[in-house]
Structure 1
Amino acid sequence: MASVADPDMHIMFTKTIEEIHSKHLQAYEEIVDATTDLCQSHEEILRAAVASCAQKCKDNEMLFETVHTYKRDLEHKNMSLKEKRQAKSEIQPDTRRDDMIQKIEKLRNEQDVMRDVIVSQNKANKKRIKVLQQAREIFQDALGLEIRKIQGELVQFIFKHINPVDDDSVYIITIGIKEDGLYQIVSSDPPLECVPALERRLKETNNLPAFLANVRKGFITQAKTVK
């Protein structure tokens, strides 16, 4: 049995401590990298939302200015009609004024629709960011989930701790976000038979954390059947 005073024993102990420390540093770096990628993805989504809102506001300002111009023209026209009424007992209907009123009404309706679209887009962007944050908090640390943005609007969710025989083996589901804000399943590695049903459920509920939980269950069931 090696003595505590044995120099070789001291070297072995020091080497073991250094290896453990190195593994901890590597794990910490992986967590920091994953968190950085997620933050960058959130920042890109927010920047796109802000740019869209800024453009919509600019368009609204132009619409408001057009409406004000029509209002000023209408006021001048009303003054002119008032003078003509004083000079004549009967006047013909002013079709131009009616057309202008209709145009102003149309512009108001378009502005209301555009405002609703902006509000809806902002809500959708905030909801997607909140869902991604919830998914990260629920799965990343406890279940060995890694979230990785690969290109455009595609995001990979990489699962570990699935196969008890090979704990480090990875299972990947790739998801895209369409223009209407709905999620679209791009691929599954290895292929998962229940993906079409899970995708339909995701489109109905828009509940990404629940979808990821069901995907993980599907991978676990598949790993048990494949020995």
Structure 2
Amino acid sequence: MTEREGRSTGVVLSVLLAVLLTGCQGAAGEGSQDDPTAGREVSPTARPSGYGAEFLAVDECSSFGATSFTEVPCTGERAAARVVARHDGTVGEGPPCPGTTDFVLHISEQRPSHDEDGDGAIPQGYACMRTLQPPHPGDPGGGGGPRTIVGDCVYDSGGGQVRETACDGKGERKPEFEVTEAVATRADCAASTALYVQLGGDNPVGCARPV
């Protein structure tokens, strides 16, 4: 929603919650689960202009900074992340983001009482974002992202909880378990499985082994 060549400035997103939650939590030894609402909540402050019918539609790009996100042309120098999936409603009610999503933007509803042509409403929704340049925390073993997937690593964070960390050991905490397989039930995991991680999807059980 920022500038386009020869066009006016578009929508600026005010960051209400600029915390990227990069782990999973659950009972160690019993399983773990990502926070389905992990991401950043943003609120459009104006009607989008010149960016299509949907705000932050699939394949559109955003810039981001310490205090705001704006929609920008993907070919522009300010482009930092691309929308890989876009859904209305809340994360808990809608489809999950793709496994390699780096972060999620939660978009607040905006329904202005009046605007130029009456099409300025923006429904509540969420955009699954993938950064244009590495590192990608959502990649297997990357140590972050809103979902836990095969190839990710976790550590015991205390209190019966586990959280995701980078498998290469370069994160703040060293990895203790790696998710090696996604299966339908715990019985399908190998005998060497030491931790069951809740992944969701068609194969909701992650089989994790010590590293």
TM-score (norm 2): 0.20
Structure holding more strand per residue: 2
Structure holding more helix per residue: 1
TM-score (norm 1): 0.19
Query: Larger C-alpha radius of gyration, 1 or 2?
Result: 1
User: Which structure exhibits the higher relative contact order, with contacts defined as CA atoms closer than 8 Å and separated by 6 or more residues?
Assistant: 2
